[in-house]
């Protein structure tokens, strides 16, 4: 995958409460939809639908605050283990989201991307996703990166398999394999690593999300369930990020 062009951050007057030092790439584990629905005596699908509304608000905030990349964990390789009815509801919701939102996202300059084993998604979901990516491919204001049928271990396995194939075909030599070589074979090739990873619903784990890319990512966990996550929560994460000193294993 080719690198994309990232424009310089536009200089504009910010809201006084917004920190000046912002992450370039924010990743989010959108957890807690099921618990949100259970608390209200609703089916789990209602929680996922409410989670879409939270995503819509976060995307708008990222556009307003000049975040350049937003990667969201929408469906993991492990989520296929859930009840068939819930998986079907999630896939239907993905199709609905793409049908309803692509035009507005395109007008706002959002480029839709996807990472994961996309070929294993249902046909309709794949088709809508491909159409959305083709429609928005030229946009540069915000990359909305949807992790679908994604797993960090699967990504590393796929990257290694692709490297082995290239070695066998003479496209790559063993002695050329380094960390930066492997990065070119990841689903996220061409994108910078996340600066900030937000996890909703209070769980203290990565859950197989961006295992390679998050090596030096700043983590921020909130007990807020994802459907209740709003721009105020995102702002709290950004403010905390701005106070941190990132040394990447070195000294100040």
Report the catalytic residues: 31, 79
Instruction: Report the distance separating Cα 137 and Cα 147, nearest Å.
Output: 17
60 burial type by CB count under 10 A (0-12 exposed, 13-18 middle, 19+ buried): middle
Which phi and psi angles does 206 have, rounded to 5°? -85, -20
Strands laid side by side in the 69-76 sheet: 110-115, 142-150, 69-76, 25-29, 196-199, 218-221
69 burial type by CB count under 10 A (0-12 exposed, 13-18 middle, 19+ buried): buried
Instruction: Report the distance separating Cα 175 and Cα 205, nearest Å.
Output: 34
């Amino acid at each position: 995958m080719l690198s994309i062009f990232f424009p310089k951050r536009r200089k504009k007057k910010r809201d006084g409460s917004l920190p000046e030092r912002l992450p370039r790439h924010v990743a989010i584990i959108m957890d807690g939809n099921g618990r949100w629905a259970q608390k209200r005596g609703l089916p789990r699908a209602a929680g996922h639908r409410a989670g879409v509304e939270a995503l819509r608000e976060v995307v708008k905030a990222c556009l307003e605050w000049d975040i350049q990349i937003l990667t969201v964990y929408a469906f993991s390789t492990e989520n296929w283990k859930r009840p068939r009815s819930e998986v079907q509801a999630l896939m239907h919701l993905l199709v609905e989201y793409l049908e309803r939102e692509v035009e507005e996202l395109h007008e706002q300059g959002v480029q839709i991307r996807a990472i994961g084993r996309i070929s294993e998604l249902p046909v309709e979901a794949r088709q809508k996703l491909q159409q959305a990516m083709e429609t928005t491919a030229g946009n540069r204001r915000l990359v909305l990166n949807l992790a679908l049928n994604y797993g960090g271990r699967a990504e590393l396995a796929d990257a290694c398999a692709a490297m082995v194939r290239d070695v066998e075909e003479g496209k790559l030599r063993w002695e050329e394999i380094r960390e930066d070589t492997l990065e070119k074979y990841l689903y996220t090739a061409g994108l910078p690593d996340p600066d900030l990873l937000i996890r909703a619903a209070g769980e203290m784990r990565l859950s197989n999300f961006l295992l390679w890319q998050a090596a030096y990512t700043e983590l921020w966990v909130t007990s807020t369930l994802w459907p209740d996550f709003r721009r105020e929560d995102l702002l709290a994460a950004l403010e905390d990020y701005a106070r941190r000193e990132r040394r990447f294993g070195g000294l100040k």
